[in-house]
């Protein structure tokens, strides 16, 4: 599966990491010449949805409930520019019965410089109650496959 | 109703025109410094949906069917820049039983220079059949109120 | 100045708060029916840029340097839907020589329910060096006018 | 070059066609469940810029002038949904000294059904004068490589 990468992290632990290569275009830039800060969240969304549909659950709309974003955050380390090749690495963290976190690390593909780090907390809410419900075990097992300790 | 404007057009005809003032921000700009061409279509969407919900039908989701965009087009006459005040004038054209056109004219609010002209064709399709259905008469009457001959 | 609001906060302190009313449209929604999480960051951007250009510095491009976003975050408390009227309150926090924070609180305009809270850290970097530089005193004074202790 | 495709068109003519595969995600959808009409123009932009940078001129910002969009249009033939695989075919038309047209045809990758057709007119304007200037011959030659008669 070409999008999975084994990464040697701190403490000599190996983590399974999902990766995706993306290229920003003019639509993502702004009058300062670099990529607008809000676009990084579109990338978080694109990566999480591609990962989820390819690696966790083929059709998110068939889950017995809705995925909701509880929080989202991004730290901007270096500017990104149109046409720059960017690699996004996705891992999971803090996996609970009804929520888990995603961590996104964006790297320049040529220099391997870390450009940005993002975090999200995702939960599942019931179709009627709109209250948190437990993820099915087969979903959590697949989410756990990508877990990392790194921040 | 503050968003309606009486405009004296060619041939000494008066047309009822809906208007909306909008300001582009950094998110709408691109690395060339001006507003990205695709954003004008977000403005077309914003204006048509604001006009429709305020002047035609309070809740578009309660129509017996779905509004669909058959075509959309835009001519770019002069560049627009972040923070520039823009006035959008909206009229209707070519009103049929199951479709009508929208025309959008974007003006610089200071100079009244015409910046851009857009067109859309909107249709109503049935909730099940997904085939064109007639608009209710009370909808078409309100759509007809904004009709213009201008292009 | 119509966009400034005096708010009585905890500890009987009064804070100057900038406010803006916004309405999400179809372009901001997604297939779940509610507003997509990344759009809240476009709103953060829109509000900060409108506030900055109206209340702090008329033309951000004439600053001797570039404004950069160091971090951005958002907590999602209740779903927002197309056409729902939303009030954004903006305040400043943690004002330093070369950076300050923005806090955004989004409320439903009918019920006054808190829908979402956002945070950003903004810095100024030099035009050549790309290193942090001090904000001019007249900028910081205006930024300080909107300071709050609330979180 | 993997993105170029030889297509047998009407009249037994062969045209060189650039193709790109894209997948819409939640950010591209709207509360009706399908893809929002304005996103098709972001795809037009993405495809033209990827094609231009890969096949015509590596760095569009190094051209002696700016590329401008004179007009853009799209016909919507069938709805597109999140996660649906879409193939975009790009060709050129009406090539003049200072402008050319782009035609975009979007197909469902499974059924080969035509989903949408788009058109743009692109021009080059001088860096100072902002008036139309001729494209360099090496640019036009590459643009001509993708010419088609089809509509």
Quick one: CA torsion of B78, B80, B81, B85, rounded to 10 degrees? Answer: 120
φ, ψ of residue C36 in degrees (nearest 5): -70, 140
Return the residue in D28, D36, D41 with the most chain B beta carbons within 10 A, the one to mutate for interface testing.
D41
Compare CB distances from D83 to A23, A27, A53 and report the shortest one's residue.
Answer: A53
Q: Is the pLDDT of residue B97 over 80?
A: yes
Sequence-separated (6 or more) residues with CB below 8 Å from residue D71 = B73, B74, B75, B76, D119, D120, D121
Burial class (CB in 10 A: 0-12, 13-18, 19+), C150: middle
* pLDDT score at C144: 96
φ, ψ of residue C61 in degrees (nearest 5): -80, -10
* pLDDT score at D70: 98
Which residue is listed with tokens 């877990």? Answer: A147
Q: Is the pLDDT of residue A57 over 90?
A: yes
Q: Is the pLDDT of residue D9 over 60?
A: no
Q: Quick one: closest CA in C to D81, which residue? A: C31
* pLDDT score at D60: 87
Q: Quick one: closest CA in C to D31, which residue? A: C33
Q: What angle do CA D68, D73, D79 make, to 5 degrees?
A: 135
Q: Residue A72: pLDDT band by 50, 70, 90 thresholds?
A: very high
Q: Quick one: closest CA in B to D45, which residue? A: B38
Burial class (CB in 10 A: 0-12, 13-18, 19+), C111: exposed
Percentage of chain A beyond pLDDT 90 is: 80
Average pLDDT over every residue of A89-105: 97
Return the residue in C24, C31, C35, C82 with the most chain D beta carbons within 10 A, the one to mutate for interface testing.
C31
Q: Quick one: closest CA in A to D42, which residue? A: A27
Residues facing residue A16 across a β-bridge: A6
Average pLDDT score, chain B: 91
Full DSSP string of C9-71: -GGG-EEEEEEEEE---GGGB-TTSSB-TTHHHHHHHHHHHHHIIIII-S-GGGSSSEEEEEE
CA distance linking residue B145 with residue D31, whole number of Å: 28
Q: Residue D151: pLDDT band by 50, 70, 90 thresholds?
A: low
Q: Are B106 and B43 in contact (CB under 8 A)?
A: yes
Compare CB distances from B27 to C23, C25, C42 and report the shortest one's residue.
Answer: C42
Mean pLDDT by 10 residues, chain C (151 residues): 48 77 97 97 98 93 91 98 97 97 98 98 91 94 90 53
Q: Which of C111, A27, A71, B36 is nearest to D46 (CA)?
A: A27
Q: Is the pLDDT of residue B1 over 50?
A: no
CA distance linking residue C26 with residue C20, whole number of Å: 20
| Weakest-pLDDT range from A2-6, B40-44, C54-58, D105-109 | A2-6
Are A83 and D23 inside 8 Å of each other by CB?
Answer: no
Q: How distant is the Cα of C116 from the closest Cα of chain A, in angstroms?
A: 10
Q: Are C63 and C1 in contact (CB under 8 A)?
A: no
Would you call D10 helix, strand, or coil by DSSP?
Answer: helix
Tokens representing residue C87 in the block: 């009030």
Radius of gyration of chain D (CA): 16
Chain A residues touching residue D29 (CB < 8 angstroms): none
Are C29 and D27 inside 8 Å of each other by CB?
Answer: no
* pLDDT score at A97: 95
Are B50 and C25 inside 8 Å of each other by CB?
Answer: yes
Q: Residue B44: pLDDT band by 50, 70, 90 thresholds?
A: very high
Q: Say whether pTM exceeds 0.90.
A: yes
* pLDDT score at B14: 63
Q: Residue D127: pLDDT band by 50, 70, 90 thresholds?
A: confident
Q: Is the pLDDT of residue D64 over 50?
A: yes
CA distance linking residue D60 with residue D62, whole number of Å: 5
Average pLDDT over every residue of B8-16: 58
Compare CB distances from D46 to A25, A46, A49 and report the shortest one's residue.
Answer: A25
Chain B residues touching residue D68 (CB < 8 angstroms): 76, 79
3-state helix, strand, coil in chain A (%, to 5): 25, 40, 40
Chain D residues touching residue C24 (CB < 8 angstroms): none
Return the residue in B29, B32, B37, B60 with the most chain D beta carbons within 10 A, the one to mutate for interface testing.
B37
Q: Quick one: closest CA in B to D79, which residue? A: B68
Tokens representing residue C78 in the block: 């209740």
DSSP H or E run through A100: strand A99-108
Are D82 and C31 inside 8 Å of each other by CB?
Answer: yes
Question: Which DSSP letter does residue C120 get?
Answer: E
Q: Are C8 and C148 in contact (CB under 8 A)?
A: no
Which residue is listed with tokens 């008669």? Answer: D149
Compare CB distances from D27 to A26, A45, A83 and report the shortest one's residue.
Answer: A45
Chain D residues touching residue B42 (CB < 8 angstroms): 38
Full DSSP string of C100-119: EEEEEEEEETTT--EEEEEE
Q: Is A100 left (phi over 0), alpha (psi -120 to 50) or beta?
A: beta
Chain C residues touching residue D26 (CB < 8 angstroms): 30-32, 36
Tokens representing residue A85 in the block: 């090749």
Burial class (CB in 10 A: 0-12, 13-18, 19+), C77: middle
Chain D residues touching residue B36 (CB < 8 angstroms): 45
Q: Residue A1: pLDDT band by 50, 70, 90 thresholds?
A: very low
Q: Is the pLDDT of residue A2 over 70?
A: no
* pLDDT per position as a tens digit, A31-48: 999 999 999 999 999 999
Are B31 and A33 inside 8 Å of each other by CB?
Answer: yes
Compare CB distances from D66 to B32, B66, B71 and report the shortest one's residue.
Answer: B32
CA distance linking residue D51 with residue D18, whole number of Å: 7
Tokens representing residue C90 in the block: 């903006």
Sequence-separated (6 or more) residues with CB below 8 Å from residue A97 = A134, A135, A140
| Weakest-pLDDT range from C74-83, D13-22, D69-78 | D13-22
Sequence-separated (6 or more) residues with CB below 8 Å from residue A23 = A83, A84, A85, A86, D50
Q: Quick one: closest CA in D to C31, which residue? A: D33
Tokens representing residue A103 in the block: 């961590």
Are D45 and A53 inside 8 Å of each other by CB?
Answer: no
Q: Are C48 and C41 in contact (CB under 8 A)?
A: no
Which value does ipTM take for this structure?
A: 0.91
* pLDDT per position as a tens digit, B99-143: 999 999 999 999 999 999 999 999 999 988 889 999 999 999 999
Are B71 and D68 inside 8 Å of each other by CB?
Answer: no
CA atoms within 13 A on the CB side of A103: 16
Question: Which DSSP letter does residue D35 get?
Answer: B
Quick one: CA torsion of B111, B116, B121, B122, rounded to 10 degrees? Answer: -60
Chain B residues touching residue A27 (CB < 8 angstroms): 30, 36, 38
């Amino acid at each position: 599966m070409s999008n999975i990468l084994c990464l040697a992290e701190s403490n000599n632990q190996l983590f399974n990491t999902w990766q995706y290569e993306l290229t920003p275009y003019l639509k993502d830039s702004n009058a300062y010449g670099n990529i607008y800060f809000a676009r990084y969240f579109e990338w978080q969304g694109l990566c999480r949805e591609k990962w989820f549909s390819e690696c966790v659950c083929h059709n998110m709309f068939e889950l017995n409930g809705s995925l909701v974003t509880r929080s989202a955050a991004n730290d901007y380390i270096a500017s990104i520019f149109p046409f720059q090749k960017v690699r996004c690495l996705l891992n999971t963290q803090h996996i609970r019965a009804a929520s888990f976190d995603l961590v996104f690390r964006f790297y320049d593909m040529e220099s391997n410089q870390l450009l940005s780090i993002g975090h999200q907390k995702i939960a599942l809410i019931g179709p009627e109650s709109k209250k948190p419900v437990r993820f099915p075990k087969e979903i959590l097992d697949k989410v756990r496959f990508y877990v990392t300790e790194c921040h």
